A and B are shown apart, each in its own frame.
Chain A
């Protein structure tokens, strides 16, 4: 009897321990309406991707190499600052200044141990002028503090709005109890700066004593995708949850996105983090993934090059090694589908200036998705 009880209670614990998959469930289409072409190869972890033209683009490799790829030929760009490669950290995102064609300025986020604020490292944002294949006028615009030797959750992505702002993300740096909910601390935040690195006067925490005034939103775990919605101009984000609870968020100024006070995920070990999924004063995700897909990179397809995909959202899946297509209707995800199933750990997706979707795949490089004619 005792044994039966033990088995029953174990079964019960197991059942409630495994959160239910969150609908809509992922679909694998029977026929493929596309093929792909490798446009840059031999890049272990292609983290960031920024197009100058469709045939001329920049790719970051996580371990610390910035490539300029012209007509498929890659050249290493010289002049990067020192990079602190540890755990998930390294050379992260790259983005062109909105007026790049006139000023040749690029922005990069990376892990660094510069500045004497303790052992370890943290995420930094730099800008520099790109001349051919070298960087000049390197300038540190933001460096999160304090340093830590944790390997987790550095972020990071960079995007721009139409009003002269730059946004970038930093994860909670493996310190969820102290960083994400405290606006006086770095980590677990989306930041907003002017293009010259100064802090916009209308940032939400400007004038608050002790606050990190570059902070735009907080309560994030590890945001590795940022994109401006092509119609609303609003900032969209994805972040890695723990086990379950990866999120898509629509980012609003000054809002708290809840980590780790509320979450749809649990610890990797299966133990709970909190029993709370919602709370007054904290934002709900637009969508959450259970199980975790490991989202990195995100893009809307707006070009019409893939007629059936127009307006859809695309997110890279590191964990399941595909590109996820999300159909959104009436402010809700109504369909999820695998694209490039089993292609490899999908690190990034970008809509190029030619309207094609380009993805960064670990161990492969940059792939261009070509619709069947």
Chain B
């Protein structure tokens, strides 16, 4: 009996850690909005439209939609070189912003669910942790 109680306890613990991220999606988006205002808005602008040819758009961006892991890696390690976004070429430098993994998850959730963007899943801190510099290579 004791064994079962212990097993039950451990299972609940493990499941909680694995299945429940520290924030709900809504909470993460809310925290991400604040990060966006501090770190992203100067270039990508409040409407996520960026500046044509200079700062790529985040609103309705085919590049972002098709390269979620690469985008996370870009936030984690910085991104430079040529990319094509909505048929327009960008060849700039986005510096590594020094964000914590949790902050990257939050700002990704904000970006992926604002200005008409929608993403069915949720980017978690654990997912960001698993992204490495290898993910910087486009598919």
Chain A positions near chain B (C-beta within 8 angstroms): 44-45, 62-63, 84-87, 89-90, 150-152, 174, 268-270, 319-321, 344-345, 362-363
Contacts and interface: CB of A to CB of B under 8 A. Distances in A.
Nearest to A271: B46
Nearest to A83: B98
A319 B46 contact: no
Contacts of B42: 268
Interface string B17-53: 0000000000000000000011101100110000100
A89 B39 CA distance: 11
A148 to B, nearest CB: 10
A85 B100 CA distance: 11
B97 A87 contact: yes
B7 to A, nearest CB: 39
Contacts, number: 52
A362 B78 contact: no
B54 interface: yes
Nearest to A152: B38
Contact of A363 (B38, B51, B91, B96): B91
A319 B42 CA distance: 9
A363 B80 contact: yes
B38 A268 contact: no
Contact of B93 (A150, A268, A362): A362
Shortest beta-carbon contacts, A-B, top 8: A86-B98, A85-B98, A151-B39, A269-B46, A363-B93, A362-B93, A151-B38, A44-B93
Given A87-B38, A268-B46, A319-B51, A151 B95 contact: no
A321 B54 contact: yes
B96 to A, nearest CB: 6
B9 interface: no
A63 B95 contact: yes
B138 interface: no
A174 B96 CA distance: 18
From B45, B51, B78, B98, name the one whose CB has the most chain A CB atoms within 10 angstroms: B98
Given A44-B78, A63-B78, A151-B98, A87 B39 contact: yes
Contacts of A320: 54
Nearest to B81: A363
Contacts of B41: 268
B17 to A, nearest CB: 25
A319 to B, nearest CB: 7
A362 B46 CA distance: 23
B80 A44 contact: yes
Interface in B77-101: 78, 80, 91-93, 95-99
A82 to B, nearest CB: 13
Nearest to B45: A268
B92 A86 contact: no
Contacts of A174: 38
A177 B63 CA distance: 37
B103 to A, nearest CB: 9
B75 to A, nearest CB: 12
A320 B37 CA distance: 21
21 contacts: A44-B95, A45-B95, A63-B78, A63-B95, A84-B98, A85-B95, A85-B96, A86-B97, A86-B99, A87-B39, A151-B38, A151-B39, A151-B98, A152-B39, A174-B38, A268-B37, A268-B42, A268-B45, A270-B46, A319-B51, A363-B93
A45 B99 CA distance: 18
Nearest to B92: A363
Contacts of A45: 93, 95
| Highest count of chain A CB atoms <10 Å: which of B39, B42, B45, B99 | B42
Contacts of B46: 268-270
A335 B80 CA distance: 34
Contacts of B91: 363
Contacts of A85: 95-96, 98
Contacts of A269: 46
